[in-house]
Each structure stands twice: as C-alpha cells, then as structure tokens.
Amino acid sequence: MQELYSTLKNAFNLGDKHILILKVLKDEKLDAKEISKKTEIPYGRIYNYLNELLHFKLVEKTTKKPSLYFISNLNENVVSFMRGKIGEQLKAQSEIMHLLSTFGGGGHVGLIDNSEQFTDNHINMITESHVFHMMSVHDSFPYIIYPEKFEDFFKLRQMITKHRATITDADLDTTLLMYRTYLDALKKGKKLIVIFEKASFDMHMKLIKSKLGAKFLKKMLAGAIERLVKYQVDVYVTDEYTTMQMDLSETRVVLCLRYLGTVNGISIFDSNVTKFFNHVFEQKIKESQPVLPLLKKLYKEL
C-alpha cells in the first residue's frame, strides 16, 4: 500500500497532506474535525485538502450533516483518478497533434506490437475523443453490451477469455480500467458508434446462456437495452467477416490484426487518413443493421 501512496505522490503530484488523509480514511468514516485531529492538519485548512480529494474522486462524503468522509473502494477510486489525469494529458496531446496536422506539420505513425499496446491505445482514444467509432475484429464482443455491474462485467470477461483469444488484456486491473473508461465516456455524453459481426453476436449469446445461465443473459440484455437507449449509443451488426479492428477518433485511426494469438497494428495521426476511414466507416454502417431490435427480440424470448 505504501508503494501506491508513493506513486500517487511522485507520479500524480499529490501532496503529503493528501496522502495523510487517504491513510486515515482507508478503514473508517470520519468527519473533518476527526480527520484534522488524526492528521494534525489545522482544522482551518483541512477543507482545502478534502475538497481537492473530493474533486479528484479519491474520497467521498455523506450528505447528512456533519458530513463523514470515506473511501468506498480505494483501488477503483485510484483507477478513476489516474484515468482523469491521463485523460487531461491525452486531450492536450490530441489537440497539439490536430494543430500540427492543420498547419501542415505532417502526420505521425506508431506501431502496435502486442495486446498491451493496443489496449492502451483503445482506452486513450475513448478518453481523448468526443465521438468514437469502433469496428470490432472477427469474433469480438463489444464492451458496450457487457453488464454495467463490475462483478458481472468481470465474470463475463473471464468466461470469454477462457473460450477464445482477445485483442485487449484480460487481467483484473485492465478490466477495471476498461470498465471505468466506458462508463465514464457514457456519463460524459461521448458519442459511441460500434460495428461487430452478426455471427459473433449469435455465438456470444449462446455462449453466455450456456456458461452463465439464462438469468444472467436476460439481466445483461435488459441493462444493454436500457443503456443503448439512454445514452443514444449506436451499435450495429454486420454479416461481413471483419478482418481487423478499427478504432477511429476525430484525430487518429488505429488498425489492428489478431492472428494466432498475436496482436499487431498501427496508429496514425493524420487528418486525411482519418477522413478517409470516416468514409469507410459510414459505408459499413449502411451495410449493417442496428443491434437493438435483436437485443429486444432475444430478451422477450428468454
């Protein structure tokens, strides 16, 4: 745990006082006076640090007065905090690359050599964009249809990785980070547009029902239907075989292949290339069908 606090301090610029507060709130709920006493931070200054930790979403508080401050899940709060900080850096980077492209600075190409690098790119693109397009590689099942409750999300992820290769990492930390990334994107009003194989949809519906049960599947479908409608997420299925993963934001495109357990791809920052793949994606949508009616039909049949 000390290593975690050191990383928050050194890599993300939290102060000594912030760390003291996190330590005393690790296992109990306290009001401001109790926190001041335990940390020896003057009561007149304690709210400055508490409000900053609340802003970072590292600490929570009750609504009933006097407010009690607490940490419901330190690991999840830290991941959310890191995503916010990294997102700020990515946004700045994306804006700079966009300006360079606009003023003739040329594009930038990066190679992707493994699933870890693809996962980082995937998460970063969702974080940095306002509109995110994704066409899933063959056999993939998009996270946007996964259950909203993290325990069920992780259970489904574990089951899928036991039955097929995946293009993104499947460990607990990465799964939590992916979960938070998609959830945050929806809550922030980002537009997500997804295409994946109809054959993959059918295969995963049967697999989930077989391995996790009809009750689990029906609950997942109900949540997915509600989520797609509430956040106006556009998800389509195609009868075509999708040979590669395509992630597309306003400023870059990532193309990736998964073959014999290996993942390789390319990330391109270039306005003309991005514009071209936007046209490609729009054409793919015209050749696909919305998944929402299929979800509703299957839900009624269960």
pLDDT of residue 12: 61
For residue range 18-52, list pLDDT tens digits in order: 999 999 998 899 999 999 999 999 998 899 899 98
Sign, CA dihedral 260-122-218-171, equals positive
Other Cβ atoms less than 10 A from the Cβ of 178: the count is 21
Calpha distance 121→125 (Å, rounded): 6
* 108 and 33 within one domain: no
* 182 and 50 within one domain: no
* 152 and 295 within one domain: yes
Sign, CA dihedral 47-52-58-64, equals positive
* 128 and 201 within one domain: yes
For residue range 96-109, list pLDDT tens digits in order: 455 445 544 456 78
Order across the sheet with 191-197: list the strands: 108-112, 262-269, 252-259, 245-248, 131-135, 191-197, 234-238, 289-290
* 91 and 13 within one domain: no
Calpha distance 295→145 (Å, rounded): 10
Q: Enumerate the β-bridge partners of residue 30.
A: 69
Question: Which of 38, 72, 106 corresponds to the end of one domain?
Answer: 72
* 141 and 247 within one domain: yes
Residue 15: which pLDDT band, with cuts at 50, 70 and 90?
confident
DSSP one-letter string for 69-91: EE-S-HHHHHHHHHHHHHHHHHH
Domain limits at 106? 80-301
Token pair, residue 199, equals: 């054959």
* 184 and 233 within one domain: yes
CATH of the domain at 55: 1.10.10.10
For residue range 239-268, list pLDDT tens digits in order: 888 888 999 999 899 988 876 567 888 898
Calpha distance 191→283 (Å, rounded): 18
Calpha distance 65→272 (Å, rounded): 56
pLDDT of residue 100: 46
For residues 124-139, average pLDDT: 93
Calpha distance 211→157 (Å, rounded): 12
Domain count, the chain: 2
pTM of the full structure: 0.67
CATH of the domain at 251: 3.30.870.10
Q: Who's near 296: CB < 8 A, 6+ residues apart?
A: 225
Question: Which of 72, 106, 126 corresponds to the end of one domain?
Answer: 72
Calpha distance 166→97 (Å, rounded): 30
CA-to-CA dists, residue 137 to 51, 86, 134, 245, angstroms? 43, 26, 9, 4
10 Å CB burial of residue 211 (0-12, 13-18, 19+) is: middle
Peptide bond connecting 66 to the previous residue in cis, omega within 30 degrees of 0: yes
The mean pLDDT value of the chain amounts to 87
pLDDT of residue 262: 78
* 46 and 125 within one domain: no
**More confidently predicted of 173 and 71:** 71
First to last CA, the chain: 45
pLDDT for residue 191 is more than 50: yes
10 Å CB burial of residue 243 (0-12, 13-18, 19+) is: exposed
* 282 and 235 within one domain: yes
Question: Which of 72, 88, 108 corresponds to the end of one domain?
Answer: 72
* 160 and 290 within one domain: yes
* 34 and 100 within one domain: no
* 55 and 92 within one domain: no
What three-state secondary structure class fits 62? coil
Token pair, residue 114, equals: 């493994």
